[in-house]
């Protein structure tokens, strides 16, 4: 259940950041895991370029890819 809510929050936050921008001097990364959400895939925003997958934790910490850099 928590992962389902995190998926929704992450999607909405990514949309808001793309629309309104961010007020920071560093880049953020829109990351994507193709296996999250029963293989439908899901995104999250990270301040690190290195993948740290929140959907699978230690089991698959590096599963995913950076889809976009947000300036």
Percent of the chain with pLDDT over 70: 99
| Distance, CA of 62 to CA of 65 (rounded, Å) | 8
- The two three-digit tokens of residue 69, written as one number: 């850099």
* Model confidence at 23: pLDDT above 90: no
Mean pLDDT, to the nearest integer, of 8-12? 95
Q: How far is CA 26 from the centre of its chain?
A: 16
Alpha carbon distances (Å) from 44 to 47, 58, 60: 10, 16, 15
pLDDT of residue 13: 94
Residues 6+ apart with CB under 8 A from 61: 51, 52, 53
- Find the range with the poorest average confidence among 7-11, 25-29, 42-46: 25-29
């Amino acid at each position: 259940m928590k992962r389902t809510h995190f998926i929704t929050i992450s999607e909405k936050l990514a949309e808001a950041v793309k629309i309104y921008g961010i007020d920071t001097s560093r880049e953020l990364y829109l990351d994507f895991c193709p296996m999250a959400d029963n293989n439908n895939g899901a995104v999250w925003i990270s301040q690190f370029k290195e993948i740290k997958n929140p959907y699978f934790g230690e089991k698959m910490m590096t599963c995913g890819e950076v889809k976009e850099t947000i300036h």
